[in-house]
Amino acid sequence: MADVILQAKNLVKRFPAGRSGSFVNAVNGVDLTIRRGEVLGMVGESGSGKSTIGRTILRLTNPTEGQISFDGKDITKLADKAVRPLRKDMQMVFQDPWSALNPRMKIGDLIAEPLRIHLNMSRSECRDRTEMLARRVGLSTNFLNRTPSALSGGQLQRVCIARAIATNPKLIVLDEPTSSLDLSVRAGILELLQELRAKTEAGFLFISHDLGTIKLISDRIAVLYLGRIVEEVPKYKLFSEPSHPYSQSLLSAHLPSDPNVPLQRMALQGEIPSPINPPSGCSFHTRCPVAVAECKRIQPLPEKISADHLARCLRLKDGKNIIPRDQK
């Protein structure tokens, strides 16, 4: 498939947890495909492993198991030195713009950094391109000589985006890029991202815990729970026909800002189990309103509901995966 920019197969990532010999099972067998020109949204709560997946596919951290192939090349076992030149084509935008930028570097230098590292540009070429990038992300060139402390959160995130697109990468991972920003600022950043994706052929991975934001920007959505993708679906179908019970409860927990929209809460019991000790079988069974005995024993495999829609749920077979509406 010529238009697949990133493919991950059976990705597993475990971190040692303390000295007791136990592990945090952050990612538990994830298959991922990102195509050029599309935005894959990944949504999940704490412990879902979404940030870890983002970092792992960029080789910022090494997978425990599994295979990652970028632009057709297997990069799973590449040495760090070999990965470095590839970073020209794969970039990341982090959640907290205040901590993502060296507080002692000038904005202009920060944006120019990928240019200096990967493209052998002369100083004046660099300067020109930096100014062009600043304009492209809607940042006044007056800021190029300032340090990050002089800019607001929204402006800083624009700097981070400029840095990420500087070398025209083929893959951009955005890890909660608007979660630390105020509501009125988020809109501007999302607008910018929308413009950029229209103009580049890059593939995007957009990670967020906020369904509302994911809905705006994604083409396809993957819902994560405790390190596994429980549902993968084109955007509109998630909101009209969510299949997995977790997706349904996630949707129902979202609070709309219109007081007239009634809440249809599916009150989930308990909290997300710790990734150090994930439940047996289907990891959602401890909180699932429609779980049955076998959910405790069997880990459901991804089932195709339609060509582009899959979900991991044992109750799909008998159609009992939909949580009844009156359950509050």
Q: How many other CB atoms are found less than 10 A from the CB of residue 277?
A: 11
Contact flag: residue 185 with another protein (CB under 8 A): yes
Q: How many other CB atoms are found less than 10 A from the CB of residue 326?
A: 6
Q: Which is nearer to another protein, 8 or 250 (CB)?
A: 250
* DSSP element (H, E) containing 297: helix 293-297
The minimum distance between CB 281 and another protein, in angstroms, equals 20
Contact flag: residue 244 with another protein (CB under 8 A): no
Q: Which is nearer to another protein, 25 or 91 (CB)?
A: 91
Which one of residues 2, 19, 21, 103 is an interface residue with another protein (CB under 8 A)?
103
Q: Which is nearer to another protein, 105 or 132 (CB)?
A: 105
CA-to-CA distance for 250 and 25, rounded, in angstroms? 22
Q: Which is nearer to another protein, 102 or 145 (CB)?
A: 102
On whether the CB atoms of residues 44 and 221 are closer than 8 A, the answer is no
The minimum distance between CB 292 and another protein, in angstroms, equals 21
CA-to-CA distance for 289 and 62, rounded, in angstroms? 36
Q: How many residues bind another protein (CB under 8 A)?
A: 64
The minimum distance between CB 97 and another protein, in angstroms, equals 9
The residues in 109-168 that bind another protein, with binding defined as CB under 8 A, are 113-114, 117-118, 138, 151-155, 160, 163
Taking alpha carbons only, the member of 185, 131, 138, 127 closest to residue 161 is: 138
Contact flag: residue 288 with another protein (CB under 8 A): no
Contact flag: residue 187 with another protein (CB under 8 A): yes
Q: Which is nearer to another protein, 263 or 298 (CB)?
A: 263
Exposed (0-12), middle (13-18) or buried (19+): which is 65, by Cβ within 10 Å?
middle
The minimum distance between CB 46 and another protein, in angstroms, equals 6
On whether the CB atoms of residues 198 and 186 are closer than 8 A, the answer is no
Which one of residues 51, 52, 56, 91 is an interface residue with another protein (CB under 8 A)?
91
Q: How many Cα atoms within 13 Å fall on the side-chain side of residue 301?
A: 1
Taking alpha carbons only, the member of 169, 93, 167 closest to residue 129 is: 167
Which one of residues 212, 277, 292, 297 is an interface residue with another protein (CB under 8 A)?
212
The minimum distance between CB 138 and another protein, in angstroms, equals 6
Which one of residues 73, 146, 265, 304 is an interface residue with another protein (CB under 8 A)?
265
In order, the DSSP letters of 71-92 are TTEE-TT--HHHHGGGGGTEEE
Strand ranges, E, within 245-308: 303-306
The residues in 26-55 that bind another protein, with binding defined as CB under 8 A, are 45-46
CA-to-CA distance for 223 and 44, rounded, in angstroms? 6
For Cα atoms 288, 178, 248, give the angle at the middle one, nearest 5 degrees.
Answer: 20
The minimum distance between CB 221 and another protein, in angstroms, equals 14
> Where does this chain bind another protein (CB under 8 A)?
45-46, 58, 60, 84-85, 87-88, 91-92, 94, 96, 99-105, 113-114, 117-118, 138, 151-155, 160, 163, 182-188, 190-191, 194, 209-210, 212-213, 215-217, 249-250, 253-260, 263, 265, 267-268, 271-272
